[in-house]
Structure 1
Amino acid sequence: MILEDYPQFTIIMRGNTYEEAEAILTSMKGYENKFAVEMTLNTPKALENITRLKNKFGNKIKIGAGTVRSLEDVENCISVGAEFILGPHTFSEQMIELAHEHHLLAIPAAMTPSEIDKMFSYSADIVKVFPAAVVSPRFFKDVQAPLGKLPLMGVGGISAKNAKDYLDNGASYLGLGSGMFNLEDVKDLNIENLKKSFQDFMDM
Protein backbone atom coordinates (compact mmCIF):
# COMPACT_ATOMS: atom_id res chain seq x y z
CA MET A 1 0.00 0.00 0.00
CA ILE A 2 1.29 3.47 -0.84
CA LEU A 3 0.64 6.61 1.17
CA GLU A 4 -1.27 8.25 -1.68
CA ASP A 5 -3.93 5.52 -1.39
CA TYR A 6 -4.48 6.03 2.34
CA PRO A 7 -7.77 7.80 3.19
CA GLN A 8 -7.78 11.00 5.22
CA PHE A 9 -9.87 9.55 8.05
CA THR A 10 -9.47 6.32 10.04
CA ILE A 11 -12.21 4.69 12.10
CA ILE A 12 -10.79 3.16 15.28
CA MET A 13 -12.63 0.03 16.43
CA ARG A 14 -11.63 -0.85 19.98
CA GLY A 15 -13.49 -3.59 21.82
CA ASN A 16 -16.05 -4.05 19.06
CA THR A 17 -17.47 -7.48 18.24
CA TYR A 18 -17.20 -8.75 14.69
CA GLU A 19 -20.90 -8.00 14.18
CA GLU A 20 -20.46 -4.41 15.32
CA ALA A 21 -17.45 -3.95 13.08
CA GLU A 22 -19.34 -5.46 10.16
CA ALA A 23 -22.20 -3.00 10.74
CA ILE A 24 -19.77 -0.05 10.77
CA LEU A 25 -18.13 -1.13 7.53
CA THR A 26 -21.48 -1.84 5.88
CA SER A 27 -22.70 1.64 6.80
CA MET A 28 -19.59 3.16 5.20
CA LYS A 29 -20.89 2.51 1.68
CA GLY A 30 -20.21 5.54 -0.50
CA TYR A 31 -17.41 6.78 1.73
CA GLU A 32 -14.89 3.99 1.17
CA ASN A 33 -12.36 6.38 -0.37
CA LYS A 34 -12.62 8.76 2.62
CA PHE A 35 -12.26 6.31 5.53
CA ALA A 36 -9.94 3.45 6.47
CA VAL A 37 -10.68 1.25 9.47
CA GLU A 38 -8.44 -0.23 12.13
CA MET A 39 -9.22 -2.87 14.71
CA THR A 40 -7.06 -2.55 17.80
CA LEU A 41 -5.10 -5.64 18.81
CA ASN A 42 -6.40 -5.42 22.38
CA THR A 43 -9.89 -6.17 21.04
CA PRO A 44 -11.00 -9.79 21.64
CA LYS A 45 -10.39 -11.93 18.52
CA ALA A 46 -8.82 -8.93 16.76
CA LEU A 47 -6.67 -10.92 14.33
CA GLU A 48 -9.51 -13.29 13.48
CA ASN A 49 -11.85 -10.35 12.94
CA ILE A 50 -9.38 -8.52 10.70
CA THR A 51 -9.20 -11.65 8.53
CA ARG A 52 -13.01 -11.87 8.33
CA LEU A 53 -13.39 -8.18 7.55
CA LYS A 54 -10.69 -8.40 4.88
CA ASN A 55 -12.49 -11.33 3.26
CA LYS A 56 -15.78 -9.42 3.13
CA PHE A 57 -14.74 -5.80 2.55
CA GLY A 58 -11.06 -5.88 1.60
CA ASN A 59 -11.63 -5.10 -2.06
CA LYS A 60 -13.33 -1.79 -1.15
CA ILE A 61 -12.11 -0.67 2.27
CA LYS A 62 -8.57 -0.25 3.63
CA ILE A 63 -8.36 -2.41 6.76
CA GLY A 64 -5.53 -2.35 9.28
CA ALA A 65 -4.58 -2.90 12.90
CA GLY A 66 -4.15 -0.58 15.85
CA THR A 67 -2.45 -0.76 19.26
CA VAL A 68 0.54 -2.40 17.57
CA ARG A 69 3.29 -2.43 20.19
CA SER A 70 5.99 -4.97 19.25
CA LEU A 71 7.78 -6.73 16.42
CA GLU A 72 5.63 -9.79 17.16
CA ASP A 73 2.51 -7.66 16.74
CA VAL A 74 3.77 -6.52 13.34
CA GLU A 75 4.35 -10.15 12.31
CA ASN A 76 0.83 -11.06 13.39
CA CYS A 77 -0.64 -8.16 11.42
CA ILE A 78 1.26 -9.25 8.33
CA SER A 79 -0.09 -12.80 8.74
CA VAL A 80 -3.73 -11.65 8.59
CA GLY A 81 -3.31 -9.25 5.69
CA ALA A 82 -3.52 -5.93 7.49
CA GLU A 83 -2.71 -3.05 5.15
CA PHE A 84 -1.41 -0.64 7.77
CA ILE A 85 -0.44 -0.57 11.44
CA LEU A 86 -0.93 2.15 14.05
CA GLY A 87 0.68 2.28 17.47
CA PRO A 88 -0.06 4.08 20.74
CA HIS A 89 3.62 5.02 21.06
CA THR A 90 6.81 5.18 19.01
CA PHE A 91 7.93 2.21 16.90
CA SER A 92 11.38 0.70 16.75
CA GLU A 93 13.21 1.05 13.45
CA GLN A 94 12.91 -2.73 13.01
CA MET A 95 9.11 -2.59 13.30
CA ILE A 96 8.89 0.01 10.56
CA GLU A 97 11.36 -1.85 8.33
CA LEU A 98 9.40 -5.11 8.68
CA ALA A 99 6.11 -3.36 7.89
CA HIS A 100 7.60 -1.82 4.76
CA GLU A 101 9.10 -5.12 3.64
CA HIS A 102 5.53 -6.44 3.50
CA HIS A 103 4.01 -3.26 2.00
CA LEU A 104 2.20 -2.10 5.16
CA LEU A 105 2.04 1.56 6.04
CA ALA A 106 3.67 2.24 9.41
CA ILE A 107 1.98 4.83 11.62
CA PRO A 108 3.67 5.13 15.03
CA ALA A 109 2.53 7.62 17.67
CA ALA A 110 4.43 10.54 19.15
CA MET A 111 3.70 13.53 21.34
CA THR A 112 6.76 15.77 21.12
CA PRO A 113 8.67 17.39 18.24
CA SER A 114 11.66 15.19 19.04
CA GLU A 115 9.59 11.99 18.90
CA ILE A 116 7.92 13.09 15.67
CA ASP A 117 11.29 13.86 14.07
CA LYS A 118 12.72 10.52 15.24
CA MET A 119 9.83 8.53 13.76
CA PHE A 120 10.20 10.21 10.38
CA SER A 121 13.95 9.56 10.52
CA TYR A 122 12.98 5.86 10.83
CA SER A 123 10.87 6.28 7.66
CA ALA A 124 7.42 6.27 9.26
CA ASP A 125 4.74 6.94 6.64
CA ILE A 126 2.54 9.01 8.95
CA VAL A 127 3.08 9.99 12.57
CA LYS A 128 0.06 9.82 14.85
CA VAL A 129 -0.05 12.64 17.40
CA PHE A 130 -1.67 11.04 20.43
CA PRO A 131 -3.55 12.06 22.46
CA ALA A 132 -4.33 14.99 20.17
CA ALA A 133 -6.90 16.60 22.47
CA VAL A 134 -4.18 17.13 25.08
CA VAL A 135 -1.89 19.11 22.77
CA SER A 136 -4.75 20.99 21.00
CA PRO A 137 -5.18 21.73 17.27
CA ARG A 138 -2.59 24.52 17.38
CA PHE A 139 0.17 22.00 18.13
CA PHE A 140 -0.03 20.70 14.56
CA LYS A 141 0.61 24.15 13.11
CA ASP A 142 3.29 25.06 15.61
CA VAL A 143 5.30 21.85 15.29
CA GLN A 144 5.38 22.10 11.50
CA ALA A 145 6.71 25.67 11.54
CA PRO A 146 10.29 24.48 12.29
CA LEU A 147 10.00 20.89 11.01
CA GLY A 148 8.24 21.60 7.71
CA LYS A 149 5.04 20.14 6.31
CA LEU A 150 4.61 16.59 7.63
CA PRO A 151 1.95 13.87 7.29
CA LEU A 152 0.59 14.03 10.84
CA MET A 153 -2.54 12.27 12.11
CA GLY A 154 -4.52 13.59 15.04
CA VAL A 155 -5.95 10.83 17.26
CA GLY A 156 -7.61 11.04 20.66
CA GLY A 157 -10.62 13.20 21.36
CA ILE A 158 -11.45 13.92 17.70
CA SER A 159 -15.09 14.26 16.67
CA ALA A 160 -17.23 16.08 14.11
CA LYS A 161 -17.30 19.03 16.52
CA ASN A 162 -13.56 19.69 16.42
CA ALA A 163 -12.21 17.83 13.37
CA LYS A 164 -12.15 20.95 11.18
CA ASP A 165 -10.01 22.77 13.77
CA TYR A 166 -7.33 20.09 13.49
CA LEU A 167 -7.44 20.06 9.70
CA ASP A 168 -7.29 23.86 9.54
CA ASN A 169 -4.20 23.78 11.75
CA GLY A 170 -2.24 21.38 9.57
CA ALA A 171 -3.30 17.85 10.51
CA SER A 172 -3.27 15.81 7.29
CA TYR A 173 -5.16 12.83 8.76
CA LEU A 174 -7.54 12.15 11.64
CA GLY A 175 -8.36 9.02 13.63
CA LEU A 176 -11.91 8.76 14.97
CA GLY A 177 -12.89 6.58 17.89
CA SER A 178 -15.87 6.62 20.22
CA GLY A 179 -16.73 10.20 19.27
CA MET A 180 -17.66 9.17 15.74
CA PHE A 181 -20.83 7.20 16.52
CA ASN A 182 -23.64 6.99 19.03
CA LEU A 183 -22.59 3.92 21.01
CA GLU A 184 -26.17 2.63 21.12
CA ASP A 185 -26.26 2.64 17.31
CA VAL A 186 -23.14 0.46 17.28
CA LYS A 187 -24.54 -1.93 19.89
CA ASP A 188 -27.88 -2.16 18.09
CA LEU A 189 -26.19 -2.65 14.68
CA ASN A 190 -28.30 0.29 13.46
CA ILE A 191 -26.86 0.70 9.98
CA GLU A 192 -29.14 3.58 9.00
CA ASN A 193 -28.09 5.66 12.01
CA LEU A 194 -24.45 4.72 11.48
CA LYS A 195 -24.74 5.92 7.88
CA LYS A 196 -26.08 9.22 9.18
CA SER A 197 -23.03 9.56 11.43
CA PHE A 198 -20.79 9.28 8.38
CA GLN A 199 -22.90 11.84 6.53
CA ASP A 200 -22.89 14.22 9.49
CA PHE A 201 -19.12 13.95 9.81
CA MET A 202 -18.55 14.70 6.12
CA ASP A 203 -20.91 17.69 6.41
CA MET A 204 -18.89 19.19 9.28
Structure 2
Amino acid sequence: MVLDRIAAARIVPVVVVDGADEGARLADALVAGGLPIAEITLRMPRALDAIKAVVAEQPDVLVGAGTVTSVAQVDQVVEAGASFLVSPGTFEPVIRRAQELGVPILPGVATASDVMRALDLGLEVVKLFPASVVGGPAAIKALSAPFPGLRFMPTGGVNAANLHDYLDLPAVIAAGGSWMVERPLVTAGDWAEITRRTAEAVALAAPATTTEES
Protein backbone atom coordinates (compact mmCIF):
# COMPACT_ATOMS: atom_id res chain seq x y z
CA MET A 1 0.00 0.00 0.00
CA VAL A 2 1.05 3.57 -0.65
CA LEU A 3 0.99 4.64 3.00
CA ASP A 4 3.07 1.62 3.92
CA ARG A 5 5.70 2.65 1.39
CA ILE A 6 5.71 6.20 2.77
CA ALA A 7 6.16 4.84 6.28
CA ALA A 8 8.99 2.58 5.12
CA ALA A 9 10.78 5.50 3.44
CA ARG A 10 10.48 7.69 6.59
CA ILE A 11 11.34 10.75 4.47
CA VAL A 12 9.33 12.23 1.61
CA PRO A 13 11.35 14.66 -0.51
CA VAL A 14 9.24 17.73 -1.29
CA VAL A 15 10.30 18.56 -4.83
CA VAL A 16 9.99 21.71 -6.92
CA VAL A 17 10.76 20.86 -10.55
CA ASP A 18 9.67 22.37 -13.84
CA GLY A 19 9.27 20.08 -16.80
CA ALA A 20 9.90 16.50 -17.80
CA ASP A 21 13.70 16.69 -17.93
CA GLU A 22 14.09 18.17 -14.44
CA GLY A 23 11.62 15.66 -13.05
CA ALA A 24 13.32 12.66 -14.60
CA ARG A 25 16.84 13.78 -13.66
CA LEU A 26 15.81 14.51 -10.09
CA ALA A 27 14.13 11.12 -9.79
CA ASP A 28 17.34 9.47 -11.01
CA ALA A 29 19.28 11.36 -8.32
CA LEU A 30 16.84 10.29 -5.60
CA VAL A 31 17.01 6.65 -6.68
CA ALA A 32 20.81 6.81 -6.73
CA GLY A 33 20.66 8.12 -3.17
CA GLY A 34 18.42 5.27 -2.05
CA LEU A 35 15.14 7.16 -1.74
CA PRO A 36 12.68 6.19 -4.51
CA ILE A 37 9.88 8.54 -3.50
CA ALA A 38 8.99 12.14 -4.33
CA GLU A 39 6.22 14.63 -3.66
CA ILE A 40 6.31 16.80 -6.77
CA THR A 41 4.62 20.07 -5.89
CA LEU A 42 2.38 21.99 -8.27
CA ARG A 43 4.37 25.17 -7.75
CA MET A 44 5.89 25.32 -11.22
CA PRO A 45 4.09 25.73 -14.58
CA ARG A 46 5.24 22.35 -15.93
CA ALA A 47 4.96 20.29 -12.77
CA LEU A 48 2.46 17.94 -14.41
CA ASP A 49 5.00 17.17 -17.13
CA ALA A 50 7.49 16.28 -14.41
CA ILE A 51 5.03 13.90 -12.76
CA LYS A 52 4.28 12.21 -16.08
CA ALA A 53 7.98 11.83 -16.87
CA VAL A 54 8.88 10.26 -13.55
CA VAL A 55 5.93 7.86 -13.70
CA ALA A 56 6.93 6.82 -17.24
CA GLU A 57 10.69 6.62 -16.80
CA GLN A 58 11.07 5.58 -13.16
CA PRO A 59 8.23 3.11 -12.46
CA ASP A 60 9.80 2.07 -9.14
CA VAL A 61 9.56 5.62 -7.78
CA LEU A 62 6.49 6.37 -5.67
CA VAL A 63 5.30 9.66 -7.13
CA GLY A 64 3.02 11.98 -5.22
CA ALA A 65 1.63 15.39 -6.11
CA GLY A 66 1.89 18.22 -3.61
CA THR A 67 0.28 21.64 -3.24
CA VAL A 68 -3.00 20.21 -4.54
CA THR A 69 -5.60 22.88 -3.76
CA SER A 70 -8.50 22.33 -6.17
CA VAL A 71 -10.72 19.54 -7.47
CA ALA A 72 -9.46 20.21 -10.99
CA GLN A 73 -5.89 19.65 -9.84
CA VAL A 74 -6.89 16.35 -8.24
CA ASP A 75 -8.14 15.15 -11.62
CA GLN A 76 -5.04 16.43 -13.41
CA VAL A 77 -2.45 14.83 -11.12
CA VAL A 78 -4.26 11.51 -10.93
CA GLU A 79 -4.46 11.44 -14.72
CA ALA A 80 -0.73 12.23 -14.79
CA GLY A 81 -0.07 9.14 -12.66
CA ALA A 82 0.38 10.42 -9.12
CA SER A 83 0.00 7.65 -6.52
CA PHE A 84 -0.76 9.95 -3.59
CA LEU A 85 -1.77 13.57 -3.05
CA VAL A 86 -0.69 16.15 -0.50
CA SER A 87 -2.61 19.34 0.18
CA PRO A 88 -1.66 22.34 2.32
CA GLY A 89 -5.06 22.41 4.00
CA THR A 90 -8.12 20.37 4.95
CA PHE A 91 -10.47 21.26 2.09
CA GLU A 92 -13.39 18.85 1.84
CA PRO A 93 -14.02 19.04 -1.94
CA VAL A 94 -10.38 18.16 -2.67
CA ILE A 95 -10.37 15.31 -0.15
CA ARG A 96 -13.70 13.92 -1.39
CA ARG A 97 -12.54 13.93 -5.00
CA ALA A 98 -9.32 12.10 -4.15
CA GLN A 99 -11.36 9.52 -2.26
CA GLU A 100 -13.73 9.12 -5.22
CA LEU A 101 -10.72 8.36 -7.41
CA GLY A 102 -9.27 5.96 -4.85
CA VAL A 103 -6.02 7.88 -4.35
CA PRO A 104 -4.63 8.47 -0.83
CA ILE A 105 -4.51 12.11 0.22
CA LEU A 106 -2.67 13.71 3.13
CA PRO A 107 -4.30 17.08 3.86
CA GLY A 108 -2.58 19.75 5.89
CA VAL A 109 -3.71 20.34 9.46
CA ALA A 110 -2.64 23.01 11.92
CA THR A 111 -5.35 22.86 14.60
CA ALA A 112 -7.55 20.40 16.47
CA SER A 113 -10.48 21.60 14.36
CA ASP A 114 -8.58 20.67 11.19
CA VAL A 115 -7.92 17.23 12.65
CA MET A 116 -11.58 16.74 13.49
CA ARG A 117 -12.59 17.60 9.93
CA ALA A 118 -10.02 15.14 8.58
CA LEU A 119 -11.21 12.38 10.88
CA ASP A 120 -14.83 13.07 9.93
CA LEU A 121 -13.78 12.51 6.30
CA GLY A 122 -12.38 9.12 7.21
CA LEU A 123 -8.68 9.98 7.12
CA GLU A 124 -6.08 8.40 9.38
CA VAL A 125 -2.94 10.20 8.17
CA VAL A 126 -2.54 13.97 7.81
CA LYS A 127 0.22 16.47 7.12
CA LEU A 128 1.13 18.84 9.96
CA PHE A 129 1.77 22.06 8.05
CA PRO A 130 3.64 24.30 8.32
CA ALA A 131 5.15 22.12 11.03
CA SER A 132 7.77 24.51 12.39
CA VAL A 133 5.27 27.38 12.53
CA VAL A 134 2.39 25.57 14.24
CA GLY A 135 4.38 24.01 17.06
CA GLY A 136 6.63 21.32 15.60
CA PRO A 137 7.07 18.11 17.60
CA ALA A 138 5.26 19.65 20.58
CA ALA A 139 2.16 20.17 18.43
CA ILE A 140 2.18 16.54 17.36
CA LYS A 141 2.46 15.40 20.97
CA ALA A 142 -0.40 17.69 21.97
CA LEU A 143 -2.69 16.62 19.12
CA SER A 144 -1.91 12.95 19.62
CA ALA A 145 -3.42 13.02 23.11
CA PRO A 146 -7.07 13.63 22.10
CA PHE A 147 -6.64 11.89 18.73
CA PRO A 148 -4.53 8.80 19.54
CA GLY A 149 -5.24 6.94 16.31
CA LEU A 150 -4.10 9.71 14.00
CA ARG A 151 -0.71 9.68 12.27
CA PHE A 152 1.20 12.65 10.93
CA MET A 153 3.62 13.57 8.17
CA PRO A 154 5.11 16.87 9.40
CA THR A 155 6.25 19.17 6.60
CA GLY A 156 7.58 22.71 6.63
CA GLY A 157 10.83 23.55 8.39
CA VAL A 158 11.93 19.93 8.69
CA ASN A 159 15.67 19.52 8.17
CA ALA A 160 18.58 17.25 9.01
CA ALA A 161 19.05 18.88 12.41
CA ASN A 162 15.49 18.34 13.67
CA LEU A 163 14.49 15.26 11.64
CA HIS A 164 14.64 12.85 14.55
CA ASP A 165 12.69 15.21 16.79
CA TYR A 166 9.81 14.23 14.50
CA LEU A 167 10.66 10.68 13.45
CA ASP A 168 11.14 9.55 17.04
CA LEU A 169 7.48 10.33 17.81
CA PRO A 170 5.22 7.25 17.56
CA ALA A 171 2.51 9.24 15.78
CA VAL A 172 4.80 10.26 12.90
CA ILE A 173 4.60 8.08 9.79
CA ALA A 174 7.28 10.04 7.90
CA ALA A 175 8.60 13.57 7.51
CA GLY A 176 8.44 15.75 4.43
CA GLY A 177 11.50 17.82 3.64
CA SER A 178 13.26 19.67 0.87
CA TRP A 179 16.79 20.17 2.17
CA MET A 180 18.16 17.36 -0.01
CA VAL A 181 16.38 18.62 -3.15
CA GLU A 182 16.64 22.39 -2.81
CA ARG A 183 15.54 24.29 -5.89
CA PRO A 184 18.96 25.95 -6.52
CA LEU A 185 20.54 22.48 -6.78
CA VAL A 186 17.96 21.52 -9.39
CA THR A 187 18.39 24.67 -11.48
CA ALA A 188 22.18 24.22 -11.32
CA GLY A 189 21.84 20.61 -12.43
CA ASP A 190 23.87 19.48 -9.43
CA TRP A 191 22.41 15.98 -9.41
CA ALA A 192 25.48 14.55 -7.68
CA GLU A 193 24.96 16.82 -4.69
CA ILE A 194 21.28 15.88 -4.54
CA THR A 195 22.28 12.21 -4.55
CA ARG A 196 24.84 12.84 -1.81
CA ARG A 197 22.37 14.72 0.38
CA THR A 198 19.71 12.09 -0.25
CA ALA A 199 21.98 9.22 0.78
CA GLU A 200 22.94 11.20 3.88
CA ALA A 201 19.27 11.79 4.71
CA VAL A 202 18.41 8.10 4.24
CA ALA A 203 21.19 7.11 6.63
CA LEU A 204 20.09 9.74 9.14
CA ALA A 205 16.46 8.63 9.01
CA ALA A 206 17.21 4.95 9.46
CA PRO A 207 15.61 3.67 12.67
CA ALA A 208 18.00 3.02 15.51
CA THR A 209 18.80 -0.63 16.12
CA THR A 210 19.22 -2.13 19.54
CA THR A 211 21.46 -5.03 20.40
CA GLU A 212 20.35 -7.38 23.11
CA GLU A 213 23.00 -8.75 25.41
CA SER A 214 23.03 -12.50 25.73
TM-score normalised by length of structure 2: 0.83
1:10 corresponds to which residue? 12
CA-based RMSD: 2.1
Q: Distance in 1 between the 2:139 and 2:13 partners?
A: 22
1:73 corresponds to which residue? 73
Q: Matched residue of 2:123: which SS?
A: coil
Residue 55 (structure 2) pairs with residue 54 (structure 1)? yes
Q: 1:181 to 1:48 in 2, by over 3 A?
A: closer
Q: Report the CA distance between 1:28 and its aligned residue.
A: 1.9
| Residue type at the aligned position of 1:188 | A
Q: How does 1:7-156 map to 2 (within 5 A)?
A: 7-29=9-31, 34-57=35-58, 59-92=59-92, 94-134=93-133, 135-156=135-156
Q: Report the CA distance between 1:189 and its aligned residue.
A: 2.1
Q: Which runs of 5+ in 2 are unaligned?
A: 205-214
Q: Distance in 1 between the 2:33 and 2:184 partners?
A: 22
| Residue type at the aligned position of 1:27 | A
Q: Which runs of 5+ in 1 are unaligned?
A: none
Q: 1:102 to 1:149 in 2, by over 3 A?
A: same
Q: Report the CA distance between 1:96 and its aligned residue.
A: 2.4
2:208 corresponds to which residue? none
Q: Distance in 2 between the 1:13 and 1:182 partners?
A: 8
Q: Is the deviation greater in 21-30 or in 102-111?
A: 21-30
Q: Distance in 1 between the 2:64 and 2:182 partners?
A: 23
Give the aligned length. 200
Q: Is the 8 A contact 2:131 2:156 kept in 1?
A: yes
Q: 1:194 to 1:63 in 2, by over 3 A?
A: same
Q: Report the CA distance between 1:191 and its aligned residue.
A: 2.6
1:198 corresponds to which residue? 198
The C-alpha deviation readout for 1:70-112, integer Å capped at 9, x for no partner, is 11111112221211111111121x4323323323111110100
TM-score normalised by length of structure 1: 0.87
Q: Distance in 2 between the 1:15 and 1:29 partners?
A: 16
Q: Distance in 2 between the 1:97 and 1:157 partners?
A: 28
Q: Report the CA distance between 1:148 and its aligned residue.
A: 0.3
Q: Report the CA distance between 1:16 and its aligned residue.
A: 4.2
2:211 corresponds to which residue? none
Q: Distance in 2 between the 1:146 and 1:74 partners?
A: 30
Q: Is the 8 A contact 1:8 1:35 kept in 2?
A: no
